[in-house]
Amino acid sequence: MKKYSLFMFAALVAVTTLTAGCFSMDAAGSTYSRDEVKKANKIYMAEIVAIDNVTIEGTSGGVGGVGGALVGGAIGSGIGGGSGNTIATAAGAVGGAILGAKAEEKLTRTAALEITVMYLQTQECEAIVQTAGNDNFQVGDRVRVLVDNRGTKRVRPLSNPAN
* pLDDT digit string, tens, across residues 72-109: 777 777 776 777 777 777 777 777 777 777 777 777 77
3-state secondary structure of 38: coil
pTM of the model: 0.58
Range of the domain at 100: 1-27+58-108
Of residues 101 and 156, the one with the higher pLDDT is: 156
Segment 70-74 long-range contacts (CB within 8 Å, at least 24 positions apart): 70/96, 71/8, 71/11, 71/12, 71/15, 71/96, 71/100, 72/96, 72/97, 72/99, 72/100, 74/4, 74/8
Tell whether 93 and 23 lie within a shared domain. yes
Nearest by Cα to 100 from 15, 18, 24? 15
Tell whether 21 and 78 lie within a shared domain. yes
- The CATH number given to whatever domain includes residue 119 is 2.40.50.100
Tell whether 124 and 134 lie within a shared domain. yes
Least trusted range by pLDDT, from 22-26, 47-51, 129-133, 134-138:
22-26
